Structure 1
Amino acid sequence: MKVLITGSSGFIGAAVTRAVIANGDEVRVLIRPTSNLDNLKGLRVETVQGDLQDPLSLKKAIAGCEGLYHVAAHYALWDQDPSTFYAINVEGTKNLFRAAREAGVQRIVYTSTIGAIGLPDQGGLGNETLFPTLAQLAGDYKRSKFLAEQEVLRMAQEGLPVVIVNPTAPVGERDIKPTPTGQIIVDFMRGRMLAYIETGMNLVDVDDVAIGHIRAMERGRLGERYILGNQNLTLKEVCQILSRLTGVPVPRLRLPWRLVLPMAHLNQWIANLVTHRPPRIPLEGVRMAKYHMHYDCTKAHQELALPHTPVETALKKSVEWFRQQKYA
């Protein structure tokens, strides 16, 4: 099958691209002139330039493809211009899926985010049946991805052959940016994590996420959501694993998110008005720490046979890659 992959130069997208090639599919990737192509070096792919905000370029990119993996997104915890999140993540997705529908694409996998999955009010595990309200979503990235997912679900009801996947917090090789989770690992390795926030997350090997995309393409139910995750951990437990892998001690100071919130507000103000650079303490990251983002991944394990590589193994791959690439 010939497929188009967006976001192939990014962390998840590069893993998906490698997995799809290994699966025997013919791969075309959509890139922008400014894309960092380090993650694509040596891969057998056809490249086509385009932009999610340019519908004509998308029509050309999708022509002749039977499948589509839409992994691309504007992913950050802060942006000087928040409208960028909505222009790319919402309107760009609509542009691409209109082009896919007109081209007669047979199967689509849309990479959403775990942030579009709701959490029970009383705590516990989130699952695919739960939807947050916009008021519950911290930041423009999550809000834009939630709105995009709502558009995708609407299009699915109209007959678009799309399956939605919601990765949790992937870790592993080729996190070139790095992602917010990757930045936590790098900061820990550098000894820059003087304290940790009392919160929780679900970690998953990025290569397992990639396989989850392929399984969603092959056997996922149309119009359904699948959480691609593995192990629920507290941030302290993550630090303990990283300490075993690196020899760096776990920070002794544990901070409740409410205590960090005023500092995050100050950092955000400085970023917006003074430095025009991402804040050292992202406000949206601190707001997310309010919730233990723990999830039930049973559906993907049962219906997609999602692999579950041990999280310590995935973190080891991440640590070794960051060392090799001189991040820490």
Structure 2
Amino acid sequence: MTLRTFVTGATGFVGANLTRLLIEQGYAVRALVRPNSRLDNLQDLDIEIVKGDLNEPDLHRKMQGCQVLFHVAAHYSLWQADRDALYHNNVLGTGNVLAAARQAGIERTVYTSSVAAIGVGAGKIVDETHQSPLEELVGHYKKSKYLAEQEAKQAVKEGQDVVIVNPSSPIGPMDIKPTPTGDIILRFLRRQMPVYLNTGLNFIDVRDVAKGHILALEKGKTGERYILGNQNLSLKELLDQLADITGLIAPQKSIPAWIPLSLAWIDEQILAPLGKPPSIPLDGVRMAHQPMYYNASKAVRELGLPQTPITTALKDAVSWFVAQKYVEVA
């Protein structure tokens, strides 16, 4: 019997790659999309699209007939002005989606959390056993993802079959928005990055993240969290790889953190209330104060998470951005 899956967030970066992989592997897909969502990432796909919202009270009716739920949708923003939307969509929305799944008789759910919910280890590489206290998580996005993960854990306590995956920073094609990582690539390609911050992240090919979701469905243990990550790289190392791929020159000088921190504070606290759209998120700069490095060996060992070279993901991301005319490379 063909498994029918219900996917939230299918129009987004991870969700679009997951949806394609599900179709390739023979799953039937029903995708929940907001009425005003761009459908570019779902063009020409053999899926059923239903319009709706994460918080609607009768969401369970749209899940009827599905056996599996992938709850990928989330509101991502580092702007402090988006605080209410973050909690409304990520926390209340996750609680409502999980409740709807129970009502609809969904047999197993894979919930897409984030390494943001785990926090950081003061410069150390951390795994799924680490948890920064809520008050130490920087910004409302991280806090909202932590609280959303608590909704998933509570559902497990009440008998629901939920597996949690925590992607790090995905790279690759179909980064339509783009994500913060995609924005780094675009700013590099547009020669808008003369300097860099001394920080670092864990990166992974977005297609490996998609595969990790299906592996979590097939092999994941109920209530467990799995970091979907690959390689820890400093921002300078990532930019050097982009330079090797494109032939463009990587920035050679770092900038002290207090400079963007000051600019971001002025942007959000002074200019934004006066009507000027902010350009640098204060929480984003605060997050960059220390590397966000993770150990994904549990997912590799227990799920078989693939570890595609980051260079491959970067090449494909660059090619996709160029093909989609986000940037023109001379």
Q: TM-score range by the shorter chain?
A: over 0.9
Size of the aligned set, in residue pairs, is 325
Q: Work out whether residues 77 and 285 of structure 1, in 8 Å CA contact, stay in contact via their aligned partners in 2.
A: yes
1:153-204 CA distances to partner (integer Å, 9 max, x unpaired)?
Answer: 1111221100000000001001010011100100000000011111010110
Structure 2 residue aligned with 1:88: 89
SS for the counterpart of 2:203 is strand
1:258-307 CA distances to partner (integer Å, 9 max, x unpaired)?
Answer: 34211111122256313453x32221111111121111110000111001
Structure 1 residue aligned with 2:51: 49
Alignment of 1:101-140 (within 5 A): 101-121=102-122, 123-140=123-140
Structure 2 residue aligned with 1:323: 322
Structure 2 residue aligned with 1:179: 179
Q: For the residues of structure 2 that align with 1:117 and 1:258, how far apart are their CA atoms?
A: 25
Q: Does 1:16 align with 2:34?
A: no
1:31-90 CA distances to partner (integer Å, 9 max, x unpaired)?
Answer: 11101000000111001111012121x112111110000000011222634101001100
Identity %: 50
Structure 1 residue aligned with 2:305: 306
Structure 1 residue aligned with 2:66: 65
Cα RMSD over matched residues? 1.2
Q: Work out whether residues 80 and 276 of structure 1, in 8 Å CA contact, stay in contact via their aligned partners in 2.
A: no
Q: For the residues of structure 2 that align with 1:117 and 1:26, how far apart are their CA atoms?
A: 32
Q: For the residues of structure 1 that align with 2:220 and 2:255, how far apart are their CA atoms?
A: 41
Alignment of 1:186-205 (within 5 A): 186-205=186-205
Structure 2 residue aligned with 1:33: 35
Q: Work out whether residues 168 and 202 of structure 2, in 8 Å CA contact, stay in contact via their aligned partners in 1.
A: yes
Q: For the residues of structure 1 that align with 2:163 and 2:253, how far apart are their CA atoms?
A: 42
Alignment of 1:147-158 (within 5 A): 147-158=147-158
Name the amino acid aligned to 1:124.
K
Q: For the residues of structure 1 that align with 2:118 and 2:111, how far apart are their CA atoms?
A: 14
Q: For the residues of structure 1 that align with 2:55 and 2:206, how far apart are their CA atoms?
A: 27
Q: For the residues of structure 2 that align with 1:81 and 1:206, how far apart are their CA atoms?
A: 26
Q: What TM-score, normalized by structure 2, do the two folds share?
A: 0.96
Moved more, 62-71 or 241-250: 241-250
Q: Work out whether residues 80 and 283 of structure 2, in 8 Å CA contact, stay in contact via their aligned partners in 1.
A: no
Q: Work out whether residues 50 and 62 of structure 2, in 8 Å CA contact, stay in contact via their aligned partners in 1.
A: yes
